[in-house]
Amino acid sequence: MRVALGALMQESNAFCVARAGMQDFRNKYLETGPNLVGRLSGTRTEMGGAIAELERTGVGIAPLLATHGGAGGIVERNCHQALRDDRLNTSAPFDGVFLALHGAMMAEGADDVEGELLAEVRSIAGSAPIAISCDLHGNITPAMLANCDILIGYQHYPHDDAPETAARAVRCLVDTIEGRMQPVMAVSKLPMLFAPHLEHTSGAGPMVDLDRIARGFENDDGPISAVSYFPVQPWLDVPDMGFAAVVVSNGDVATAEAVANKITSEAWERRHAFEVETVPVDDAIRAALAIGNGPVILADTSDCVGGGSTGDGAALLEALLRLAPNAGSLVHLVDPVAAEQAAKAGTGVTIATEVGNRINTSRGTPVPITATVERVFDGQFTYDGGFLGGVTASMGPSVVLAVKETRVLVTTYAAYEWGYESYRAAGLDVQAARLVSVKNPMNYRLTYPFAAGAFVLDTKGPTTPDLRGLTWRSLERPFYPKDDSVDPRRLRQASSQIDEGR
C-alpha cells in the first residue's frame, strides 16, 4: 500500500498591503520528493506526524511537495502556480492521498486555493480516498468538502498539535483504504467571526468549552471519528467565510449532522465571550511599568505576523522611546532598509536611521532613532514548537540596535512567532527584559509562562481585533459581530450534508 503525501499551507490576510511570494515559503520549509521525508521526518509539522504514522503502519510513501508560507498577504499568482506542482500525476500507483492544508489560503485569481487544489487532486486520484488536515483557522468551503473524504482540524490553539492532527487523518485514511471505515462528513457553518485573542483551548474560556463538547462526541465504539471546529482566520474577506464545524463519521450522516449543528449552536451562544479588550499604547506602557517587575508582554496584535501582517508597525517603539527609553524593553520590527543600513555600518557603530512603518505606510512614518549597532547576524533560528517545531527558519539579514536601554531587533523578513526564538537568536534575553513586544494574539500565553503581565495594545493594522471597523469588500452581510441582533436561525446557512461517498 502507498499513500501520496504533501502539504500546501499559508494563511492569507486580505487586508495585508503586501503579496506573499516564494521567499515567504522558502523562509519556513519547502521540500519535494525524497527531501520531504528526509528533512521533515521528526519535526512537529504535519508531515512529521504523517510520516511517523505511515511508517508505523507499514504504508509506503509517495512524497509530493510540502511547504508552509506562514501567514501573509494574498499569494502572488506566479508563486501559486509554481507550488501547484504535478508530482501527483506521476506518483501512481497510490491507494490514497494525504494533504496538509491550511484552509485559509488565497492567491491572486483564486479565493479558495484549497478547494481548487482538491478538485484537481480528485480528478487525478479517481476513487482513491483523500484525507486532509487543516489549521483551525481554515475557511471550510463546499469545494473542499466535496473533494475529500476525511477533513480533520487542529484541536489546539496555540497550535501545538499539527503532527497529532495529521496522524489522526492518516489513521482514518488507512482504515478507509483497508475497508474498516466508510467516511461520511457533515458541516455546519455560521457567518460568525471572532478575533483569535480568546480562542485558547486550554485553561478556561469559550473555546475550552467547545473543545470539551466536541471531544465528548468522539468515541472509539461510536460512529463519530472526528469533530473539528474552525473559528476561521477572520481577516480573509471572502463571501462565504465563517465559523464551521466538520464531523467525520463512519457511515452515520444523521448523527454527524446533529453533532456539527450542536457545535455551531454552542459557539453562537458563547459569541460575546470572544470580545477583546484593548489598551491604548501609552496607558499600557505605564501600567506595565507599574507592575514593577518583568517581563511584561505588550502584544501589538494588530500587526500580528502569524495573522498575516507585515510586522513593521512601529507605534509601540515610538511610544516606548518617548515614555520609557531606559526601561529595558525588547522590540522586534521588520524593516529591510534599516537592517541593511545597520549591517553595512557594522557592529559597534552608531547610526542615525529610521525604522518601521516602512511596508504598511498607513500606520504612520518611520521612527527616527540614533542607535548603536549591537549585533549583525543571519536571522536563522529553529522553532521550539508549534506547527513549525524543529524547522529552521529565516528572518533574513538581521541586526540588534541599542537605543538607550531599549533593544530593537530589526529583521529583513517577518517570521511567524511561536515563542521567543527570534529574540534568542539575536542574543536577547526575554526573561531579563522589563517589557517585551510580541506580534501575536495568543501564542505568548503558552510560550511566556514566566511573564509578569500582558496587555493587548490598541493599535492599527490588518489583524485588528476590531472586526466591526474593517472595510469589508467581499464578506456579505449579515455577519457577526457586525449584525449581532440578527436571529441566528437567519444567520445559519443551509447545513449541507456531504455524503456523496467516493
Q: Which residues bind Zn ion (CB under 5 A)?
A: 135, 137
CA distances from 139 to 15, 103, 111, 346, 437 (A): 16, 5, 11, 45, 29
Local structure of 196: helix, strand or coil: helix
Decide if 386 contacts 160 (C-beta within 8 A). Answer: yes
Which one, of 462, 476, 472, 463, lies nearest residue 191 by Cα? 476
Nearer Cβ to Zn ion (111/199): 199
The single-letter DSSP state of residue 205 is S
Could you give the 3-state DSSP secondary structure of residue 184? Answer: strand
Residue 247 C-beta-side C-alpha neighbours within 13 Å:
33
Question: Which one, 39 or 168, has the nearer CB to Zn ion?
Answer: 168
Q: What are phi and psi of 457, to 5 degrees?
A: -80, 145
Nearer to Zn ion, 306 or 356 (CB): 306
Specify the residue, 200 or 434, whose C-beta has the smaller distance to Zn ion. 200
Strand partners, 334: 411
In the complex with Zn ion, which residue's Cβ is closer, 234 or 396? 234
For the bound state, the minimum distance from the C-beta of residue 286 to Zn ion, rounded and expressed in Å, comes to 32
Backbone angles phi, psi at 193, to 5 degrees: -120, 140
CA–CA dist 46, 331 (Å, integer)? 31
Among residues 230 and 377, whose Cβ is nearest to Zn ion? 230
Helices (H), 152-280: 162-177, 206-217, 253-269
Name the maximum alpha-carbon separation found in the chain: 69
DSSP string, 268-323: HHTGGGG----B-HHHHHHHHHHT-SSPEEEE-GGG-GGGT--S---HHHHHHHHH
Which lies closer to Zn ion via its Cβ, residue 66 or residue 288?
66
> Between residues 235 and 472, which has the closer beta carbon with respect to Zn ion?
235
Looking at the Cβ atoms of 155 and 249, the one nearer to Zn ion is 155
Instruction: Output the nine-digit C-alpha cell for 37.
Output: 521525508
To the nearest whole angstrom, how small is the minimum distance from the Cβ of residue 377 to Zn ion? 29
Which single residue brings its beta carbon nearest to Zn ion? 137
3-class DSSP state for residue 86?
coil
Q: Least separation, in Å, of the C-beta of 440 and Zn ion? A: 11
The least CB distance from residue 338 to Zn ion, in Å, is 30
If the CB atoms of residues 137 and 168 are measured against Zn ion, the closer one turns out to be 137
Q: How far is the CB of 104 from Zn ion (least distance, A)?
A: 8
Using an 8 Å Cβ cutoff, are 301 and 465 in contact?
yes
In terms of CB distance, is 94 or 383 closer to Zn ion? 383
Overall size of the chain counted in residues: 502
Closest alpha carbon to 445 in 149, 160, 212, 225: 160
Q: CB of residue 194 vs Zn ion: minimum separation in angstroms?
A: 12
In angstroms, give the least distance from the CB of 272 to Zn ion: 22
Q: How far is the CB of 135 from Zn ion (least distance, A)?
A: 4
Measured from the CB of residue 153, what is the shortest distance to Zn ion in angstroms?
9
Look-up of cell digits 526575554: 430
Which residue(s) pair with 353 in the sheet? Answer: 369
- Alpha carbon distances (Å) from 351 to 50, 311, 477: 49, 22, 51
Collapsing DSSP to helix, strand or coil, 78 comes out as helix
Q: How far is the CB of 2 from Zn ion (least distance, A)?
A: 30
Angle, helix 281-290 to helix 315-323, in steps of 10 degrees: 50
- Contact between 412 and 423 under an 8 Å Cβ cutoff? The reply is no
Q: Tell me the three state secondary structure of residue 436.
A: strand
Nearer to Zn ion, 155 or 412 (CB): 155
Task: Return d(Cα 337, Cα 330) in angstroms, integer.
Answer: 20
Least distance from Zn ion to the Cβ atom of residue 137, Å: 4
Q: Quote the least distance from Cβ 253 to Zn ion, whole Å.
A: 28
